[in-house]
Chains A and B, each alone.
Chain A
Amino acid sequence: MIEKTIMSEVDVRRALVRIAHEIVERNEGVDGLVLVGMRTRGVPLARRLAQILEGLENAQVSLGELDITLYRDDLDAHGIYPTVRRTDIPVDVTGRSVILVDDVLYTGRSVRAAMDAVIDFGRPRCIQLAVLVDRGHRELPIRPDFVGKNLPTSRDEEVKVRLVETDGVDEVVIAKDVPE
């Protein structure tokens, strides 16, 4: 397995700051916004975005955590069902703009599951999608609203986002198996 660094700590921070500015611009402030991080790495990313947004707009931003396991379309594909973790969306999403936050956008299937989950909590005014990396290869008609970096990949490569909160370091790498 060889790894190539695509984004450094500084790149990750700059990308998040830019996304935060775009969110403010698109939504004309942060009023009525709810940031919902998709487990696992979307959660710390959403928390960081909320912090930046609060600094920019001097206002509180609502924050939630979403576990999509119960909504996955591949539960029966792998045998034993994956561990379900708690979802925590502390505000009523009805009438609010929900911004889903995830680390990597790939097939779009997780985002489909996340949208179904959010809609079970109420009827949001709209749902937007923010991702740190968009690596392409969509299998569903889904596109992100805010992207940290567009990264053309092939399917046999793996994109790994590492964050201080979960992995002890901030970086994005692209990994590929090398034939011996």
Chain B
Amino acid sequence: MNRKDVLDLDDFTAEEIALVLDTADAMKEVLSRPIKKVPPLRGKTVVILFYESSTRTRVSFELAAKNLSADVVNITASTSSVAKGESLVDTIRTLQALGADMIVIRHSQSGAPYLVAQHLDGSVINAGDGWHAHPTQALLDMYTIRERLGRIAGLSVVIVGDVLHSRVARSNIWGLTKMGAKVTLCGPPTLLPVVSKNGCRGDLPEVTVEHDIDKALSGADVVMGLRIQKERQEGGLLPSLREYVQLYQLTRDRIARAKPGALVMHPGPMNEGIEIAPDVAYSTQSVIENQVSNGVAIRMALLYLLAGHRSKQI
């Protein structure tokens, strides 16, 4: 893959996405071995720099880098010089001087990984920036879909919930439409990006918007629930959580409107009983745990595919 960074999927081609998914397939086989460790990143240092809390993404990047034999350094903002007021750019310069080959960054400011990429010779992977993008989550979602349904092109994917604040949704919209899926957004108008009659306004690709969840789910191949981000609901975007639950919770009855065997997905962490009913989250149609385990394979694939870029420069 001829690129230095993975910042979002908007600049990916369908071929590049397919290469990542195919490589993840090979990595998934590695994860099934008794010794889940292969040597290609020996001697390379991966820095995992998180300015926001995370369990699954951080652990999954760390395992991915270690499975490829890289040296891993974990930095959380609260225990680093960031707490003393060091700027992001200075932090990156320091890490570069210490020999970081790749930086995986999560930041609450949209666009922060782009700034990092400008100041680092090595590769940058965006592990989530503000409301903007979470490309590795979208790739593992697409991998899970392809693994279960055999393809992505032509599928109808419905994303339900707080799309407005969701970096997962935004990256998925880019990735899924590039791979030929039909994407429908569903949720209360206050939680959806502003759209025109033809689709999303602004720079997002064309999607369908449907506020009625029963209509949105009918005939869906994949139903993706999003977390209601309670910490971001103070601006009065929802009259009440109870109303949201009544109108938009993914329940067994609602999922029954989708195609038989439709997949139920959620990027986690879940608010069970809010955006998704517990019996749906743990039903046979749910692939939520597969998403988590596929995350390691996808991140191994990306770390491997980016590693060659740096050696080319030397």
Interface string of B1-36 (1 = CB under 8 A from A): 110000000000000000100110111011001110
Task: Give the nearest-CB partner of A79 in chain B.
Answer: B312
Asked if B26 and A71 sit within 8 Å, CB to CB, the answer is no
When the two chains form their complex, are residues A71 and B2 in contact, meaning their CB atoms are under 8 A apart?
no
- Among the 9-residue stretches A16-24, A25-33, A82-90, A150-158, the one with 4 or more Cβ atoms under 8 Å from chain B is A82-90
How far is B39's CA from A120's CA once the two chains are assembled, in angstroms? Answer: 11
Q: Are A121 and B40 in touch, CB under 8 angstroms?
A: no
- Please tell me which one of the listed residues B26, B30, B34, B304 contacts residue A122 in the complex, with CB atoms under 8 A apart: B34
If A70-B38, A121-B33 touch, does A76 touch B311 (CB 8 Å cutoff)? yes
Decide: A120 near B38, CB < 8 A? Known: A81-B305, A83-B19: yes
A120 touches B33 (CB 8 A): yes
B308 at the interface (CB under 8 A from A): yes
Across-interface contacts of A86 in B (CB, < 8 A): 25-26, 29
- Pairs A–B under 8 Å by Cβ, sample size 13: A67-B26, A70-B30, A71-B38, A71-B40, A72-B40, A75-B307, A75-B311, A81-B40, A84-B23, A84-B26, A120-B38, A121-B34, A121-B35
B308 touches A79 (CB 8 A): yes
Whether a CB of chain B sits under 8 angstroms from the CB of A2 is no
Q: Are A71 and B39 in contact (CB under 8 A)?
A: yes
A-B pair number, CB within 8 angstroms: 60
Q: A80 an interface residue at 8 Å Cβ cutoff?
A: yes
The reply to whether A87 and B40 contact each other, CB–CB distance below 8 Å, is no
Within 8 A of B (CB), among A122-152: 122
List B contacts of A70 (CB < 8 A): 30, 38-40, 304
Taking Cβ atoms with an 8 Å cutoff, the residues of A that contact B are 67, 69-72, 75-81, 83-88, 116, 120-122
Q: Which residues of B contact A (CB under 8 A)?
A: 1-2, 19, 22-23, 25-27, 29-30, 33-35, 37-40, 304-305, 307-309, 311-312, 314
Chain B's interface: helix, strand, loop or mixed, by majority? helix
Shortest Cβ distance from A92 into B: residue: B34
Contact A84 to B311, CB < 8 A, known contacts A70-B30, A71-B38, A75-B40: no
Identify the interface centre among B1, B19, B25, B29: most chain A CB within 10 Å of its CB.
B29
Closest to B312 in A: A79
How far, in whole Å, are A79 and B2 apart by their CA atoms in the complex? 9
Give complex CA distance A65, B1 in Å: 24
6 closest Cβ pairs, A-B complex: A79-B312, A81-B308, A76-B311, A80-B308, A70-B38, A84-B26
Q: How far is the CB of A120 from chain B (nearest CB, A)?
A: 5
Closest A residue by C-beta to B37: A120
Do B311 and A87 touch (CB < 8 A)? no
Residue of A nearest to B307 (CB): A81
- Is A87 a contact partner of B26 (Cβ separation < 8 A)? yes
A-chain residues with CB within 8 Å of residue B311 when the two chains form the complex: 75-77, 79
Residue of B nearest to A77 (CB): B311
Contacts of B19 in A (CB 8 A): 83
Is there an interface contact between B34 and A84, defined as CB atoms closer than 8 Å?
no
When distances are taken between beta carbons in the complex, the residues of chain B under 8 Å from A78 are 308
By beta carbon, the residue of chain B nearest A122 is B34
Distance of A70 Cα from B25 Cα, bound (Å): 14
In the complex, the chain A residue whose C-beta lies closest to that of B23 is A84
The answer to whether A81 touches B2, judged by C-beta atoms less than 8 angstroms apart, is no
Partner of B308 from A67, A75, A120, A122 at Cβ < 8 Å: A75
Contacts A86-B29, A87-B29 supplied; 4 other A-B pairs, CB < 8 Å: A72-B40, A81-B308, A84-B26, A120-B38
